Structure 1
């Protein structure tokens, strides 16, 4: 991916660095993302994709409490009367699954989609970045950094109040460090011509950069609600930034029809109560983030940091509640949601459909509500499938290397689809692939796409404070979303060897 930083070093003028703690990981860094899981279902070579989908243990992702929270269907169903009854799945006999298969009936998608902004045709990369990272937030960072330094640096004779221009320069340097990665930040100020960066040295000294990294702050600590009190917020330190990006992400890109709900990880190995350990993931330790992203571009529309045992949505139905939370803005618009087996359930897809949202996902064969001939199918040859239908709700089991189960409300139960697999003797064979598998393969990779784009620009340096990892993670999301908006904007002419910089 092209990177976001400023092509004119003179734009960094005004940069004006307490000692940085060198640790093993960087706040904004992400490990190389795992291959998009949907592609595992369509590789020419024989793969373990189906095995990965079928055998994934969702319980290994998080620690769930047994406390049951009230279902949030009521909130979703509050406007149910606006949906014509002809568009609803029959619920008179929810346990009835028919062998008589017919095409589903869902409305056409007619929403406006794509970038929304008033930037001119000659807008620079920095202009797209600042659609999401607003000018007033730079001023907020300046005020909070000076306030925090005043509260904690009474005996620090080397601190001088920071200006907004320096805050912009500080963030720009961190972005540039993601483009040109060195083992230690001090090397950027090296006198060695093969290591040192002349542009960075001309904008800000090493000591000033270090001081800004020490005192950079997002929110006033003195306004935090004490622990064990009503209104306590574990994310208080970054809450203003979360609030900012939540509305800028919504304002400048209208979601396309196909959306992906999945998880992302912010790498962090320090001590923090919401940190998760997932041994089967590329990033094994860190903060889990639920995300809804565009299935093709990877644009992040909405995210929610998982709070562990203190999460308000905790409980056995966590996956369902996460999807409902992330899809509130899509009600009655006819979007299609793709998800994996951790989230998918019969009640969830029925609830989404009642609110004008259609879904498709892999599902555990032991899930409640599936028909017996789907949960326990007979032996099948590779490429064969069995489907059962209840209105628009279609349950499918497809034989790849192993059996993979799907549940959908947006795919016909039968259709002409195929993919290729490679046999042990090296020959390629074509096998049938039903429409739910086809749709899942094409549209499940949105969050993975976002992770791939972020991995190209790992913003931030190592730190001991957990909130700095989320801080730089959100900067990374702003860069990624800005790049996507810029790429899809009218009049944008991409060039193969063009490198974009964020300059302030």
Structure 2
């Protein structure tokens, strides 16, 4: 397929009926309307195909895009600074992507979103960092009311099934958890100023659990970056489509690795992608001649050689 042919097919690739789109500013407007059927389809497929581990992580994930779209975000602290921000729910150990939500502004989340207490009733626990000035946070944990220095023991405040913790590591940090208590343990950390280069600190259990299971989305982003789709697109929904396609490949590779029997060696990511390509091309006559009078000359090597998977023969 030529480049021009590929671009022509891309111009006709759509995922929704534009005639049913509600204009921006009107009631019922859905900013990701162009990819809404695709988003609704993959969320169901991913959760049905694989049961993740107990620990899940939620975090932001950026889809690189510098085109013109009103919900494009700029996040200078991220490796990908310009793009479409999404919230991803992933397995903390494998990075398997389960759910995705595109951030389109202040109306992304409904006003009646669930609180941690409601999650607790549904049997879902939560643990994460929190800003001390958030609404309903206890005043006793505010920096103005509770001064903490490096080396001080962590402080806890409990309200019903929620417990908040304030501690100083490299800087002051606050945790909020519905699954932990005020238990602590001694941990040896490196310190250049201490004798022997190490010292013992009192660390909350919730802090250690958070650090162990917080990076599921980062693991997914790392796997997506290895073989990311390199072509730029002026249409934002095409960029989202290629990102979702890459997520699908990563997810199915994770499932494949889990299905390999214990002691077996799974194929590499590159080999897995080549197998997927071979499976999609199976049954197609890639070197079929054009209709009309048959040619009396042999086909050149560029049409029968190493352009297609499985047809390249090493001359050695």
Same fold, judged at TM 0.5 (above): yes
Alpha-carbon RMSD across the aligned residues, in angstroms, is 2.5
Residue of structure 2 equivalent to 1:485: 255
CA distance, structure 1, for counterparts of residue 137 and residue 188 of structure 2: 26
For the 8 Å contact 1:290–1:303, the answer to whether it is kept is yes
For the 8 Å contact 1:386–1:396, the answer to whether it is kept is yes
CA distance, structure 1, for counterparts of residue 146 and residue 116 of structure 2: 22
Task: Give the deviation of 1:391 after TM superposition.
Answer: 4.1
Deviations 1:151-196, CA, capped at 9 Å, x for gaps: xxxxxxxxxxxxxxxxxxxxxxxxxxxxxxxxxxxxxxxxxxxxxx
SS at match of 2:167: strand
Residue of structure 1 equivalent to 2:190: 421
Task: Give the deviation of 1:252 after TM superposition.
Answer: 0.5
Deviations 1:202-251, CA, capped at 9 Å, x for gaps: xx333432332343332333343444554433322222211221211111
Task: Give the deviation of 1:496 after TM superposition.
Answer: 7.2
For the 8 Å contact 2:253–2:272, the answer to whether it is kept is no
SS at match of 2:272: coil
Equivalent residue for 1:404, pick from 169, 173, 189: 173
CA distance, structure 1, for counterparts of residue 192 and residue 178 of structure 2: 33
Change (3 A) 1:364 1:411: same
Work out which structure has the larger RCO, using CA pairs closer than 8 Å and 6 or more positions apart in sequence: 1
Unaligned regions of 5+ residues in structure 2, if any? 281-316
Q: Give the alignment of 1:224-235 within 5 angstroms.
A: 224-235=21-32
For the 8 Å contact 1:383–1:433, the answer to whether it is kept is no
Q: Which has the larger radius of gyration?
A: 2
Residue of structure 2 equivalent to 1:355: 122
For the 8 Å contact 1:299–1:481, the answer to whether it is kept is yes
For the 8 Å contact 1:460–1:472, the answer to whether it is kept is no
Unaligned regions of 5+ residues in structure 1, if any? 1-203, 325-347
Equivalent residue for 2:240, pick from 470, 485, 492: 470
Residue of structure 2 equivalent to 1:450: 220
For the 8 Å contact 1:459–1:475, the answer to whether it is kept is no
Q: Give the alignment of 1:96-495 within 5 angstroms.
A: 204-309=1-106, 311-313=107-109, 321=113, 324=114, 348-375=115-142, 376-382=145-151, 384-424=153-193, 427-459=197-229, 461-491=231-261, 493-495=264-266
Deviations 1:420-475, CA, capped at 9 Å, x for gaps: 13324781323221101011111111111111111112125111111111111111
**TM-score, normalising length: structure 1:** 0.50
